[in-house]
Amino acid sequence: MQQPKKIVAVIGSYRKGGIIDSAVDEVLAAAGEQGASVSKIYLLDKHIEFCSNCRSCSQDEGDRRGYCAIRDEMATVLDELESADGIVLGSPVNFFTVTALTKRFVERLVCYAWWPWGARAPRMRTTERPRKAVLLLSCAMPAIMARIFCGAPRVLKSAAAALGARTVGLLIIGQVAQQEHQALPARARNNARRLGYKLTAGFR
Ligand SMILES: Cc1cc2nc3c(=O)[nH]c(=O)nc-3n(C[C@H](O)[C@H](O)[C@H](O)COP(=O)(O)O)c2cc1C
């Protein structure tokens, strides 16, 4: 029997049950309906240190991610993501970019680059994209403004690429910071579910 396809979501929001968490739930529910096995990783619950810019992870050439000298939970999170067929990356927009929680995780993805001392710029170790990615952002401003003025979409897209994923959908959920406990708007719910189907399309 075929193994169920695996979808892993990384949540960079500070609020469990908030907009991003709820949007991730919709993506995963739709993917689950298509027979995928789904799971969530809350960055809030993980011990992940800041990248120290020692660059030891990026000195040696090769397709596999470089070895990070920091002993925390990053390696197990990356093992989990590398074993997935699809990933979801979600973050609120804070100060025009992803949350600090998300950024701390993203900076650690430098282990997927080959960047020896002496080289001017990093190069991705591989251009292979064996998995798909869906990206979710939420913000107080209208979504169209976030698309134009914020760096957040680019941060998540490059994180997905580093994780060997081709982005198949980006959902920006705008105008969501008007109440303390705002429900995920119906339209966003539908769009998130659509992305869940897109993530699993062709899996069966
Ligand atoms: C410190 C902070 C900075 C924020 N900066 C922005 C911003 O620059 N632009 C914006 O549209 N919304 C901003 N927001 C609103 C958040 O994007 C919004 O509360 C979040 O998307 C809700 O998602 P959550 O329920 O998952 O926390 C900010 C919120 C906080 C707390």
Please give the domain boundaries of the chain with CATH numbers for all domains. 6-200 (3.40.50.360)
Q: Which residues pair with 90 in a beta bridge?
A: 11, 136
Number of CB atoms found within 10 A of residue 61's CB: 10
Cα 48 to averaged position of ligand 1 atoms, centre (Å): 22
What's the whole-model pTM score?
A: 0.97
Question: What does the pLDDT average to over 38-45?
Answer: 98
The pLDDT tens digits of the residues spanning 139-167 come to 999 999 999 999 999 999 999 999 999 99
155-171 b/e (C-beta count within 10 Å ≥ 16 → b): bbbebbbbbbbebbbbb
Question: What does the pLDDT average to over 30-53?
Answer: 97
Contact 159, 135 (CB under 8 A): no
* Percent of the chain at pLDDT exceeding 90: 94
- Rounded Cα distance between 74 and 76, Å, is 6
pLDDT(78) > 60: yes
Q: What is the pLDDT of residue 52?
A: 97
20 in contact with ligand 1, CB cutoff 6 A: yes
Looking at residue 15, its amino acid is R
- Rounded Cα distance between 202 and 83, Å, is 18
Please name the residue whose Cα sits nearest to atom 3 of ligand 1.
94
172 in contact with ligand 1, CB cutoff 6 A: no
150 in contact with ligand 1, CB cutoff 6 A: no
- Residue 1 pLDDT grade (very low, low, confident, very high; cuts 50, 70, 90): low
For residue 19, give the ligand 1 atom closest to its CA: 25
pLDDT(203) > 90: no
